[in-house]
Amino acid sequence: METDFRVPLIRERLRGFKLVVPVTSPKGGVGKTTISVGLALALARSGVQASLLDTDFTNPTTHISLGVDVEELMPEEEKGVLPVKVEENLEFMSIAFYSKDRALPLRGRESVDAFRELLAVTRWTGKVFVVDTPPGLSDTLLELLRLHRKVRVLVASTCDKMSIVSTKRILEFLDSEKVESLGVVANMCSQPKRIREALGIEPIASIPYHEEMPSLEGDRDRLAETLRPYLENVIKQITSQL
């Protein structure tokens, strides 16, 4: 039986979202955060009211990719906490606004508690909730699956064997729990057919390796311009469900 008084409040806070899109990955280093930011920017610049949350509490980096200075900006407080307005249709929240890029060591239950607290106090205004989650079947991903009725998971994976094997596990878990996924983004892949052959599905998006990608982090315009063409199918899938 649920005894956390914050859970009903969280569900109320999330009620305005028509779709929740956790972006996860089989392991670290596959470009999940970059894809999360690119997707949120693409949605916002398509006229969709988007909200972006970084839930990697022990190592938040989404703000870096997004070009947000957490040393200078702070969310406003008004009957809760208002996410930082990054662009006209994009709001953003991260624990980094409070930890200021200091180490924040949290263990399992502590991480869930921090996640619930952040969701309970934040007043969202978006229609699509893009959530950059830690790799794997993280606590925050599992929490989202129980907190909102319409969750569609997007999995970012490279084309190496370890990533593909782990991606298969995630997809099998989602299928066993009857949770729909948007699909798999093949990132930094020269041969996306490996995912098709191993998983029996066509990647919803294929992004080749870009040598200049590290230099785009923090430059929203260039990052959005580079990633948007590859994410068109993802955007169409999301907007068709709104």
Q: Does residue 129 register a pLDDT over 90?
A: yes
Q: How many CB atoms lie within 10 A of CB 165?
A: 13
pLDDT at 3: 80
Distance CA 139, CA 29 (A): 19
Contact 131, 3 (CB under 8 A): no
pLDDT at 1: 54
Q: Who contacts 171 (Cβ-Cβ below 8 Å, separation ≥6)?
A: 155, 181, 184, 199
- N-terminal to C-terminal alpha carbon distance within the chain: 32
Distance CA 34, CA 213 (A): 9
Q: Does residue 208 register a pLDDT over 60?
A: yes
Percent of the chain with pLDDT over 90: 79
pLDDT in tens, 93-123: 999 999 887 878 888 789 899 999 999 999 9
pLDDT in tens, 151-176: 999 999 999 999 999 999 999 999 99
pLDDT at 183: 96
pTM: 0.95
Instruction: Report DSSP state, residue 29.
Output: T
Which amino acid is residue 208, in one-letter code? P
Mean pLDDT, range 229-233, rounded to an integer = 97
Q: Who contacts 14 (Cβ-Cβ below 8 Å, separation ≥6)?
A: 20, 119, 124, 129, 147, 148
Closest CA to 119 of 28, 22, 1: 22
Provide φ and ψ at 147, rounded to 5°: -100, -15
pLDDT in tens, 41-65: 999 999 999 999 999 988 899 999 9
pLDDT at 2: 61
pLDDT in tens, 173-189: 999 999 999 999 999 98
Strand partners, 50: 90, 128
Mean pLDDT, range 202-228, rounded to an integer = 93
With vertex at residue 48, the alpha carbon angle to CA 44 and CA 54, rounded to the nearest 5 degrees, is: 55
Q: Does residue 230 register a pLDDT over 90?
A: yes
pLDDT at 43: 98
- Structure-derived torsion over alpha carbons of residues 167, 170, 174, 175, reported in degrees to the nearest 10: 60
**Token pair listed for 166:** 């782990």
pLDDT at 55: 94
pLDDT at 102: 82
Instruction: Report DSSP state, residue 230.
Output: G
H or E segment at 138?
none
